[in-house]
């Protein structure tokens, strides 16, 4: 497999996310990006109260997709982005070089997931493709299987929840889960949450015979599609993003869930969400990304807005392992066919601190 030339564009916008019109060579851009990560990594501000964060930074704009970016996933040293144009791009971390492309021609990609050395891609043609990651062969991402087979095929628009064994790739369960399409899935502490266009999030857990059964129903707004669902690491808090722009928060107590938060997050639909520690990010059809701080009792407090995309924000992925400068990296994919990389501080920064890191020592973080 040929290694492709990087098409990433490093930018130096301010927190208002204005993009620089200047250009530089790929080598210079990647070197600047790496140097900036090292500089930011030396900065670790003290914790502050839940007030507005104005110091997020746009680090890179990654282009190369022929269609709208539909999903993102982390895979070891790589960040994967897939599109409606049937292509999957592999970006090498940390310099964000375009490493490879695979999956072309297999139908628009609707979802990405990684487990160990395997990548699972769900496509518009109602198939799940399984790719094995191997450094020992020239074809790093090699197609090893396509699911489901004719034996266990039930279709991808049949509103069912399917359970697969990732070792032998066998379909173990097929559950009639919702009255409309399932838009999102997340699992935590033995509970699987499914978000649907029928306006409900359903919680599934294993019953007496080891099969999944319904444990609870988390109601959203009537006749409003729930497009995304996320859950906290401890499994106690669940958040759903809806087409009416609301984020609903639920508290789990044993096997009961109650609404603890109902926030108008965007003027247009919430299309995706991402939870990194105490921060919740919401991507919207209004082209913006909301930054929310989780508070006590599951409440959320808006602390910032990220602008920059020229189309609706379809997917978000955070990299908590890449903690730099008291913050972390956030990746966003949009219908504008681009993936953007942001640095988001973990705490609010006082004006004098922000000014100090912008003076000569940090050119990529300097204000425009």
Q: Answer for the pair 106, 117: CB distance below 8 angstroms, yes or no.
A: no
Give the separation between CA 51 and CA 12, rounded to whole angstroms: 25
Same domain, 322 and 302: no
Q: Is residue 127 part of a domain?
A: yes
Q: Is residue 253 part of a domain?
A: yes
Same domain, 295 and 322: no
Per-residue pLDDT at 352: 32
pLDDT at 242 over 60: yes
Q: The tokens of 184 are what? A: 């999102």
Same domain, 247 and 302: yes
Q: Is residue 349 part of a domain?
A: no
Confidence of residue 31 (pLDDT cuts 50, 70, 90): low
Q: Is residue 153 part of a domain?
A: no
The more confidently predicted of residues 153 and 119 is: 119
Considering the chain, what is the average pLDDT of its residues?
80
What average pLDDT score do residues 303-324 get? 88
> How far from 57 is each of 13, 15, 197, 226, 350, CA to CA, in Å?
7, 6, 34, 30, 16
| Widest pairwise Cα distance in the chain | 65
pLDDT at 359 over 50: no
Q: The tokens of 91 are what? A: 């970006």
Per-residue pLDDT at 32: 59
Give the separation between CA 274 and CA 209, rounded to whole angstroms: 33
pLDDT at 351 over 60: no
Same domain, 91 and 143: yes
The more confidently predicted of residues 331 and 353 is: 331
Which residue is it, tokens 């790719």?
131
Confidence of residue 37 (pLDDT cuts 50, 70, 90): low
What average pLDDT score do residues 350-368 get? 36
Same domain, 329 and 303: no
Same domain, 205 and 277: yes
Q: Answer for the pair 270, 312: CB distance below 8 angstroms, yes or no.
A: no
Q: Is residue 360 part of a domain?
A: no
pLDDT at 334 over 80: yes
End-to-end CA distance of the chain: 40
What average pLDDT score do residues 214-240 get? 96
Per-residue pLDDT at 346: 79
Same domain, 330 and 284: no
Per-residue pLDDT at 360: 35
Per-residue pLDDT at 188: 95
Per-residue pLDDT at 49: 52
Tally the domains of the chain.
Answer: 2
Same domain, 280 and 329: no
Same domain, 209 and 244: yes
Per-residue pLDDT at 134: 78
Q: Is residue 61 part of a domain?
A: no
Give the separation between CA 57 and CA 366, rounded to whole angstroms: 9
Per-residue pLDDT at 50: 58
Domain harbouring 233, CATH code = 2.130.10.10
Tell me: the pLDDT tens digits for 125-180?
A: 888 899 998 776 666 888 989 887 544 454 346 799 999 998 888 999 999 999 99
Confidence of residue 323 (pLDDT cuts 50, 70, 90): low
DSSP single-letter state for residue 297: G
pLDDT more than 90, % of the chain: 54
The alpha carbon of 184 is separated from its chain's Cα centroid by a whole number of angstroms, namely: 12
Same domain, 291 and 321: no
DSSP single-letter state for residue 3: P
Confidence of residue 103 (pLDDT cuts 50, 70, 90): confident
Q: What are phi and psi of 266, to 5 degrees?
A: -145, 160
Angle at CA of residue 284, ends 282 and 286, nearest 5°? 140
Q: Structural domain of residue 243, as residue ranges?
A: 178-307
Which has the closest alpha carbon to 122: 110, 134, 132, 133? Answer: 110
Domain harbouring 128, CATH code = 2.40.10.480
Same domain, 234 and 126: no
Confidence of residue 105 (pLDDT cuts 50, 70, 90): low
Q: Is residue 166 part of a domain?
A: no
Same domain, 279 and 193: yes
Tell me: the pLDDT tens digits for 254-281?
A: 889 999 999 999 999 999 999 998 999 9
Per-residue pLDDT at 341: 95
Q: Is residue 167 part of a domain?
A: no
Per-residue pLDDT at 24: 38
């Amino acid at each position: 497999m040929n290694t492709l030339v990087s098409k990433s564009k490093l930018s130096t916008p301010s927190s208002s996310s204005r993009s620089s019109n200047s250009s530089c060579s790929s080598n210079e851009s990647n070197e600047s990006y790496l140097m900036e990560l090292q500089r930011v990594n030396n900065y670790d501000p003290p914790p502050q109260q839940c007030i507005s964060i104005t110091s997020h930074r746009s680090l890179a704009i990654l282009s190369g997709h022929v269609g709208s970016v539909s999903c993102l996933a982390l895979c070891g040293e790589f960040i994967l982005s897939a599109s409606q144009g049937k292509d999957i791009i592999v970006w090498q971390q940390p310099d964000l070089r375009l490493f490879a492309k695979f999956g072309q021609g297999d139908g628009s990609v609707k979802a990405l997931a990684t487990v160990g050395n395997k990548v699972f891609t769900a496509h518009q043609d109602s198939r799940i493709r399984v790719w094995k990651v191997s450094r020992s062969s020239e074809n790093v991402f090699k197609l090893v299987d396509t699911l489901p087979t004719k034996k266990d095929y039930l279709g991808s628009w049949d509103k069912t929840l399917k359970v697969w064994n990732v070792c032998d790739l066998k379909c173990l369960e097929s559950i009639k889960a919702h009255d409309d399409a399932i838009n999102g899935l997340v699992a935590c502490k033995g509970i699987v949450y499914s978000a649907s266009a029928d306006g409900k999030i359903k919680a599934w857990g294993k019953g007496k015979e080891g099969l999944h059964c319904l444990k609870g129903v988390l109601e959203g707004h009537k006749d409003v599609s729930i497009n995304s669902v996320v859950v906290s690491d401890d499994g106690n808090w669940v958040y759903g993003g809806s087409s009416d722009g609301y984020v609903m928060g639920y508290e789990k107590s044993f096997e009961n869930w109650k609404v603890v938060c109902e926030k108008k997050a965007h003027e247009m639909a919430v299309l995706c969400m991402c939870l990194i520690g105490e921060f919740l990010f919401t991507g919207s059809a209004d082209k913006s990304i909301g930054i929310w701080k989780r508070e006590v009792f599951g409440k959320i407090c808006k602390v910032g807005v990220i602008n920059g995309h020229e189309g609706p924000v379809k997917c978000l992925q955070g990299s908590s392992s890449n903690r730099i400068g008291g913050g972390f990296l956030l990746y966003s994919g949009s219908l504008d066919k681009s993936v953007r990389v942001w640095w988001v501080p973990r705490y609010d920064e006082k004006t004098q601190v922000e000014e100090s890191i912008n003076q000569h020592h940090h050119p990529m973080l300097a204000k425009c």
